[in-house]
Amino acid sequence: MSAAPASHESFTLTRQMAAPPAVVFRAWADPAARTVWSAPSAAVEIVYDAADFRLGGCDVVRCVEPDMPVFAAEVCYHDIVEDRRIIFAESVSRGDERMAAALISVEIVAEGEGSTLTVTLQLVSLDIEGMGSNYRLGWTAALDNLQIWVNEAGAGGRA
């Protein structure tokens, strides 16, 4: 079986949040919160083996789904501006197989009493056919969950 060539893709996802930037930022900064909202479905468990949310820090994360291979991600933070911006690099693998690398920017802008979240992903899929569309689906679902989590937190919910 020959490997598919590396492919490059960029996309941007935007969500309106019914909470101020500080609440949105806190949802990214807190690994316990991320385990709740970043799972793309109820069947997926997000496990942090290491969490170091700071400039220069790195997280090691596993995405566990019953009867499926475990995906691992290493996330390293390159820029963090509290309540405004997070820029990180992410590499995704399954066992010894590198699957993708991405540069991801998260921008949070105050809009009235709420905020606008803009996430831009620059992805390189490594010899994996369809990785780009799977990446987009996973991030879309996670940000939909984040929007629910943040909206509940901003209204006095579980943040």
Q: What is residue 4's predicted lDDT score, i.e. its pLDDT?
A: 67
Q: What is residue 70's predicted lDDT score, i.e. its pLDDT?
A: 77
Give me the helix-helix angle, 131-154 and 21-29, nearest 10°.
120
DSSP state of 58: E
- What is the C-alpha separation between 47 and 38, in angstroms, rounded? 10
Contact at 8 Å (CB) between 85 and 106? yes
Tokens standing for residue 111: 């809009």
Q: What is residue 63's predicted lDDT score, i.e. its pLDDT?
A: 83
Written in H, E and C, the secondary structure of 108-123 is EEEECCEEEEEEEEEE
Q: What is residue 158's predicted lDDT score, i.e. its pLDDT?
A: 47
**Residue 88 burial by Cβ neighbours in a 10 Å radius (0-12, 13-18, 19+):** buried
Mean pLDDT in runs of 10 for the chain (159 residues)?
76 95 95 90 88 97 82 96 98 90 97 95 86 88 92 57
**What are the phi and psi torsion angles at 56 (to 5°)?**
85, -10
Q: What is residue 154's predicted lDDT score, i.e. its pLDDT?
A: 54
Cα 19-50-127 angle, rounded to 5 deg: 90
DSSP state of 40: S
